[in-house]
Structure 1
Amino acid sequence: MTVLAQRLGRVLAVVIGLAVGVVLLVMFVVNRQTPEHSDSPPAPKAVAVIEARPLPFRLEARGHGVARPAETWQAVANVSGRVVERHPALESGTLLRAGTLLLALDPSRYELAIAEAEAELTQLEAEEANTRRLLGLERQALDLAEQELSRIERLASTGSVSTSQRDAQRRSTVAQRQAVATLENALALLPAQRERASVRLAQARRDLADTRFVAPYDLRLGEVEVELHQFVSVGQSLFEADSLAAAEVEARLPFSVVRRLLGSVAPAELEPGSLDLSERIDLDAIDAELELVGASGVGWTGRVVRVASGLDPATRAVRIVVRVDHPWRGARPPDRPPLQRDMYTRVRLTAPGPEASMVVPSSALHQGELYLADEQGRLVRRPVSVAFKQGGLAVIEAGLVPGERVILDDLQPAIDGMALSVRRDDAAEARLAALARGEASSGERP
């Protein structure tokens, strides 16, 4: 009896559920609403547009590089000696003026060499004077001997003197000639001896000058490896110093961007035989700005001085050297530090484009197409050819005509011929023109 009751309960539950479902279905069918049909067109889509026109465009290249001094002095001992004088501020990081005596070695050995060479020159001068006097006397004696020989030769021809007397006079004349030749040879050798002594004197003076290390320019000391009273040998490294006159940054920039940038400042025709890159490309037409990475607002103005040989082996980037003159001028650490060794910088190079370009915001491109608003206020999807993109801008090579209206908004959906409510955005046009001239931040959206 219990099993039969359970089966009846399940059947009853199913029947009740079906009945409720049928009732709900009937209610939905009875109460359904027929969709309303409207003959009025959809409301136009509101969009902001800018008028396409050629704009002066400033080409830009960005890269990074590490700063280094334009000139570094590696002080190496050219002579040996004991350190007898050391500047009290000869320590790493110290700034010193040009003309400051930094280090001095014991000069006594080289002063003695100078005195010895000078004494030798004095002796040679005295010897030369004595030799010239003796040579004058010997030449007078030779003249007398020659006259006597001539007289005896005449007498010997007449038989007035004997042959032995004539031969004796001949031997005496030859001996006198030899004495004169000896003095003339000694006098001829004196200039060479004097030249050797002069060379030794000049070398001794250079060695004496090499005992003193004087700052050739305003500098900042690096590593110092010498102490007072220390004996240094020839070729030993003493200290390192960086010039404060200029700093350089070798920036790595993409090859394609640099090629476009340099092409804008190259003359149409190159003079034949020109090897210097500065003669073929106007590097002064390129503006350079540097910014310290990690320190917003800290920057310098530089100039491009050369393009380094070869590409970066790792990234195949072009290496362009930017110089900053007087990097310590106006420095106010820590808010405004000077540009110094090993600072990692961001480099921005700009140059005017050769001609005006059709420029639109990169955000206005949609997979190679621009959305345009025609004269009837309808959407036109136009495929365009993009020459290149730069800093949020796209330079259109083909497909866009001056005067056409470019839609700035991203339409969803974008259907050809859809009605538009067009509003010209004058502020966006002004920002676009400023960006194209390089006068605004490239991250700003037109």
Structure 2
Amino acid sequence: MRFLIKAIRFILPVIVLGGCVLVAWWLLSHPPEQKKMEMPPTLVRVEGTVLNKTSYDLRVRSQGTVQPRTTSTLLPEVSGKIIEISPSFRPGGFFGQGDVLMRLDPLDYETAIVISKAALAQAEVMLAEEKARADQAVENWRAMGRTGTPSALVTRTPQLAKAEADVASTKAQVIKAERDLERTTVRAPYACQVLEQAVDIGQFVGQGTILGRIFAVDYVEIRLPLPERESQFLKLPQSFSDQSTASVDGATVYLKSVIAGKPVAWEGKIVRVEGSLDAETRQSTAVAQVTDPYARRADGSPPLTIGAFVEAEIAGEPLQDVYIIPRNAVRAGNEIILIDQPQNTLRRMTVEPMVSNEDHIVVSASAAKAPKPGDILCLTPIPFPADGARVVPTIDGKNPPGGEKKAKPEPKPKLTQAKPTAT
């Protein structure tokens, strides 16, 4: 009995383990058949447009700061106390050419004119006396019966020359005294605006004293860096060593800025191109000129002030036979996607833009890497486009023939289930 119990304890686990192995083998050798499903191909709907040759009015964009064409530091040419100063001689005040800025005390210079004129009168008297002595000396020499030409000492030529020199010297002193008197009135050298006032009434100033700073207002200048690729299509004046100038009539520049929260626009001309490239950007710099920037305008807009930051658009020559491609249709590396018909498949192409901005790029139709007229440009951004992938396009708002049919979803596939296998 005890032997039987031990045999059962040994045989029963073996039987259970063997049954488990048998069941596992059967399940592995007779797996249930999986349901089969066929998925229809997924077609992406995209927007497209037909590429046609056109012309493009080039506007090269740049930016710069308004600068005066001339800035001057006022210094007096004579010394004296300021007895009068113009009410407009304050920062921001305007003056026309020749307008009085201030006056210095003229008393000392008026006195100098009187003294110099007295000295001139005395010198003229001495000159007249020397002429009379010279004439008398010549008559006395001839009265003595001498013939020939009298010597310079007989005719008193040195004394006469000295008297004439004294008259010329005193005349120069009179002219200098009168000029110094004129210089006591400080005038504007050109039409200007006051940038800085350094003195005021009652102050004594000398020849080295700074009175203030002014700048010209007849026109202002703006330095505009030019992008290398776009500058080749601009009409720019160029100067040469023989003093000649090419393309005298510079390109038109349209300037705009925001002043007091309002957009303001001006128009100017490119007048010259600086002779050296910028050391950091390696770009050439054009100088635009705006005439009479402080004139009152009919629309009441503010003037173009010094130091204002402006955005510029330089009008270039129109580009002919080009494609204008929207920026959102251009991928990294100047790659665009074309849609080939009638299969409606994608084709990638890398183009070389002539000019570009944040809105679009412009591609020459005659370039080696350029689409052909009538090609369809894909406007919809596709993350991972593959050459030959099929899409459902809407071209310029219209569906191509058969496009709607392809766009409709295919009927759902029927699920099939394998018949159970007999065991």
Aligned to 1:140, the other structure's residue is in SS state helix
Name the residue aligned to 1:180: 154
Distance in 2 (alpha carbons) for counterparts of 1:56 and 1:104: 59
Distance in 2 (alpha carbons) for counterparts of 1:217 and 1:232: 22
Name the residue aligned to 2:374: 403
Superposed displacement of residue 373, structure 1 = 2.8
CA contact (8 A) 1:59 1:353 kept: no
Q: What TM-score results when the alignment is normalised by the length of structure 1?
A: 0.69
1:236 lines up with 2:209 in the alignment: yes
Name the residue aligned to 1:53: 53
Match of 1:197 among 166, 170, 174: 170
Distance in 2 (alpha carbons) for counterparts of 1:301 and 1:59: 14
| Structure 1: gaps spanning 5 or more residues | 1-28, 151-172, 427-446
Match of 1:35 among 9, 34, 37: 37
Aligned to 1:297, the other structure's residue is in SS state strand
Which structure features the higher share of helix residues?
1
Deviations along 1:341-400, whole A, 9 cap, x unmatched? 222222332312565433322322234432223342522414233134421322334322
CA contact (8 A) 1:52 1:360 kept: no
Name the residue aligned to 2:193: 220
1:342 lines up with 2:307 in the alignment: yes
Match of 1:301 among 263, 267, 274: 267
Distance in 2 (alpha carbons) for counterparts of 1:57 and 1:89: 46
Match of 2:345 among 341, 361, 379: 379
CA contact (8 A) 2:46 2:380 kept: no
Q: Which amino acid aligns with 1:403?
A: G
Match of 2:180 among 182, 207, 218: 207
Superposed displacement of residue 241, structure 1 = 2.4
Deviations along 1:252-299, whole A, 9 cap, x unmatched? x25525xx42554269xx9985445xx134452243424248845123
Name the residue aligned to 1:157: none
Identical pairs, percent: 22
Aligned to 2:194, the other structure's residue is in SS state strand
Aligned to 2:293, the other structure's residue is in SS state coil
Superposed displacement of residue 58, structure 1 = 0.8
CA contact (8 A) 1:377 1:421 kept: no
CA contact (8 A) 2:101 2:186 kept: yes
Name the residue aligned to 1:438: none
Pick closer, same or farther for the CA change 1:323–1:273 going to 2, 3 Å.
Answer: closer
Name the residue aligned to 1:369: 335
Superposed displacement of residue 246, structure 1 = 2.0
Deviations along 1:294-315, whole A, 9 cap, x unmatched? 8451232222222334344454
Distance in 1 (alpha carbons) for counterparts of 2:200 and 2:59: 53
Pick closer, same or farther for the CA change 1:194–1:354 going to 2, 3 Å.
Answer: farther
Alignment of 1:32-431 (within 5 A): 34-36=36-38, 45-63=45-63, 65-146=64-145, 180-182=154-156, 184-251=157-224, 253=225, 255-257=227-229, 260-261=230-231, 264-265=234-235, 274-275=242-243, 279-282=245-248, 284-292=250-258, 295-330=261-296, 336-353=301-318, 355-367=320-332, 368-391=334-357, 392-396=359-363, 397-400=367-370, 401-411=372-382, 414-425=385-396
CA contact (8 A) 2:66 2:308 kept: yes
Distance in 2 (alpha carbons) for counterparts of 1:225 and 1:341: 20
Distance in 2 (alpha carbons) for counterparts of 1:382 and 1:121: 96
Superposed displacement of residue 75, structure 1 = 1.4
Pick closer, same or farther for the CA change 1:140–1:399 going to 2, 3 Å.
Answer: same
CA contact (8 A) 1:288 1:322 kept: no
| Structure 2: gaps spanning 5 or more residues | 1-30, 398-423
Q: Which amino acid aligns with 1:234?
A: Q
Aligned to 1:49, the other structure's residue is in SS state strand
Deviations along 1:173-205, whole A, 9 cap, x unmatched? 99x8676332x2222334433332333233222
Q: Which amino acid aligns with 1:407?
A: C
Superposed displacement of residue 324, structure 1 = 1.7
CA contact (8 A) 2:252 2:315 kept: yes
CA contact (8 A) 1:387 1:395 kept: yes
Superposed displacement of residue 214, structure 1 = 2.3
Paired positions, count: 363
CA contact (8 A) 1:265 1:282 kept: no
CA RMSD of aligned residues (A): 3.8
